[in-house]
């Protein structure tokens, strides 16, 4: 259930039930929040970005403890250079990652950073030759225990995937295809990361081994068009979007395993002609994601990872949730391992 940075409204949806009992769904709005970017496996901590000046862009980060009600504002000032303050949180809520300003050069930019209650923000550095196009480095994901961080750092205007630990510092992942590499997600132990490289025609799905730093493309030629958005805790399943030549001519939501290769989820998308994107998977195989067409999105769920994609709004309504009037469920990106 690893994560990927993507905009979404600050709403938490809880699906609860026990064996043999009625399952129900409820909504919980997070006051003042612009983006809910990540969720811990026990559902205790939610982390993301705040819009403090009302311009609908992220300003500061936050960590919200649902169990105690504590709401911690995590200021980074990364918005000054276009960053997203908090993108991911470790499984116990003790570590968040995001971006902070890097001001050692005249036209300052951002750098990847991690935050704890004890130390505040600590920059993770950048790879050699990284300038300000558009930043020194950007964090995208953190391992379950907070010890490993993945993302990209720049060389000119081309990204290079990285993996960071306290022991190794920031290490460059193998540069694949035609550059523009990004590690977007990682497994719970940080040993596998996935994202994309620039392929022949567009982004192409890529994965990396954390121990060797070596990478592989879904298609060695770089012709496959798509990217990985999510990864299972054990790193055995990756999720994303891929152009498969479907009749509607758009990208399909897919999952991949070493043994089974690429599998299109349902019909590839909920809505014909919209691009399908798979983002997260629960222990029981249930997958969530969303369709996208231009600026429009619709969230969906595939219960137990089989059968058709189901409009998330319809799914939760059938479980007893009342969706507030006028609210669409547009982006589903995060799932607890239990699927609740």
Name the residue range of residue 238's domain.
11-318
Looking at the 3D structure of the chain, how many domains does it have?
A: 1
156-179 pLDDT per residue, tens: 889 999 999 999 999 999 999 999
Rounded Cα distance between 143 and 141, Å, is 7
Residue 208 lies in a domain: yes
DSSP string, 79-120: GGGT--SEEEE-TTSS-EEEEEEE-SSSS-EEEEEEEETTTE
198-214 pLDDT per residue, tens: 999 999 999 999 999 99
Residue 340 lies in a domain: no
Mean pLDDT score, 50-77: 83
Residue 4 lies in a domain: no
* Beta-bridge partners for 231: 238
**Is there a contact between 248 and 273 (Cβ–Cβ < 8 Å)?**
yes
Q: Domain holding 107: CATH number?
A: 2.120.10.30
Residue 1 lies in a domain: no
Q: Number of helices (H) and strands (E) in the chain: give both, helices first.
A: 1, 26
Residue 331 lies in a domain: no
Rounded Cα distance between 292 and 89, Å, is 26
**Is there a contact between 20 and 316 (Cβ–Cβ < 8 Å)?**
no
* Beta-bridge partners for 226: 242
**Is there a contact between 204 and 219 (Cβ–Cβ < 8 Å)?**
yes
> Per-residue confidence at 13, pLDDT binned at 50, 70, 90?
low
Rounded Cα distance between 163 and 168, Å, is 9
Residue 38 scores a pLDDT above 60: yes
Look over the chain and give the mean of its residue pLDDT values, rounded to a whole number.
87
> By C-alpha distance, which of 143, 106, 160, 151 is closest to 124?
151
Residue 337 lies in a domain: no
Helix (H) or strand (E) holding 116: strand 109-116
> Per-residue confidence at 246, pLDDT binned at 50, 70, 90?
confident
Residue 153 lies in a domain: yes
Which tokens is 167 given?
């022991």
Residue 121 lies in a domain: yes
């Amino acid at each position: 259930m690893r994560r990927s940075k993507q905009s979404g409204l600050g709403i938490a949806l809880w699906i609860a039930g026990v064996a043999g009992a009625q399952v129900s769904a409820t909504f919980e709005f997070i006051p003042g929040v612009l983006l809910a970017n990540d969720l811990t496996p026990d559902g205790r901590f939610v982390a993301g970005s705040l819009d403090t000046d009302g311009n609908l862009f992220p300003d500061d980060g936050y960590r919200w403890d649902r169990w105690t009600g504590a709401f911690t504002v995590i200021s980074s000032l990364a918005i000054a250079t276009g960053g997203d303050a908090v993108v991911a949180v470790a499984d116990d809520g003790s570590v968040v990652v995001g971006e902070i300003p890097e001001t050692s050069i005249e036209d300052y930019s951002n750098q990847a950073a991690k935050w704890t209650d004890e130390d505040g923000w600590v920059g993770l550095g950048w790879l050699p030759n990284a300038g300000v196009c558009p930043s020194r480095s950007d964090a995208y994901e953190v391992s379950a225990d907070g010890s490993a961080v993945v993302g990209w750092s720049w060389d000119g205007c081309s990204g290079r995937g990285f993996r960071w630990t306290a022991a190794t510092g920031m290490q460059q992942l193998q540069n694949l295809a035609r550059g523009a590499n990004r590690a977007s997600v990682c497994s719970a132990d940080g040993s596998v990361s996935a994202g994309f490289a620039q392929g022949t025609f567009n982004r192409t799905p890529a994965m990396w081994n954390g121990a060797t730093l070596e990478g592989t493309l879904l298609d060695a030629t770089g012709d496959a068009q798509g990217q990985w958005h999510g990864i299972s805790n054990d790193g055995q399943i990756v999720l994303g979007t891929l152009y498969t030549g479907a009749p509607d001519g758009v990208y399909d939501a897919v999952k991949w395993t070493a043994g089974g290769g690429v599998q299109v989820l349902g019909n590839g998308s909920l809505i014909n002609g919209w691009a399908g994107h798979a983002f997260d998977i629960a222990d029981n195989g249930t997958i969530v994601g969303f369709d996208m067409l231009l600026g429009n999105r619709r969230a969906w769920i595939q219960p137990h990872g089989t059968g058709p994609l189901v409009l998330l709004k319809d799914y939760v309504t059938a479980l007893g949730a009342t969706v507030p009037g006028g609210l669409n469920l547009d982006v589903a990106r995060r799932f607890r391992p239990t699927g609740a």
